[in-house]
Amino acid sequence: MNGHISNTHPSGYGSYSPQVNGYGLPTFAQVDRDQGSKTSAKALYEQRKNYARDSVSSVSEISQYHVEHLTTFVLDRKEAMITVDDGIRKLKLLDAKGKVWTQDMILQVDDKAVCLVDLESKNELENFLLGTIQHCQAVMNACNYDSILALVCKEPAQSKPDLHLFQCDEVKASLIYEDIESAISDSKGGKQKKRLDTLR
């Protein structure tokens, strides 16, 4: 060490400004520079905040969930199949007999439809426009399948609605239900768009 104290640090941190006046106070130029860096830091923060917000709204609002399709029932009074509860009862009976044949798939939600997509081929298996979904419900801990999403859908050409039951393991049925309900609500033209908040 040669006894010389450098007024700059290699990294630029902790450097002493050579611009000090006779009283050891920063000059106006230094004060301005400090103010400028505070302003630019705030501006940068605001930019980043807006970028994150805009990124969320610019991503196409398509959510995808890995689900197991359990079964589909026709809701028919003659079959004593009227409600989601009736469907869960029948599902339990089928399960007890080992007759539930599950199929893994992707359930996709966007602002127009709920779509079922094959896991392997990525082919669309079924597409339920939001307007055809009469009822959506999450059924938790009702049987061996502990996170069931129930969708009641009726296409214009159908005389009776279908009840589709899905087991949701990776993302719970209650969360998928909220996503679908907010999409349906937005599609009905409510002023308050709920779905983006739900997805966040």
> How far is C-alpha 75 from the geometric centre of its chain's CA atoms?
30
Average pLDDT across the chain, whole number:
80
- Size of the chain, expressed as the number of residues it contains: 200
| CA dist., res. 187 & res. 138, Å (int) | 20
pLDDT digits (tens, 9 = 90+) for 49-91: 665 555 444 445 899 999 999 999 999 999 999 999 999 999 9
- Spatial contact of 149 and 166, defined as CB atoms under 8 Å apart: yes
- Spatial contact of 102 and 167, defined as CB atoms under 8 Å apart: yes
**152-181 mean pLDDT:** 96
The pTM score is: 0.68
Tokens of 119: 């896991």
| CA dist., res. 50 & res. 4, Å (int) | 47
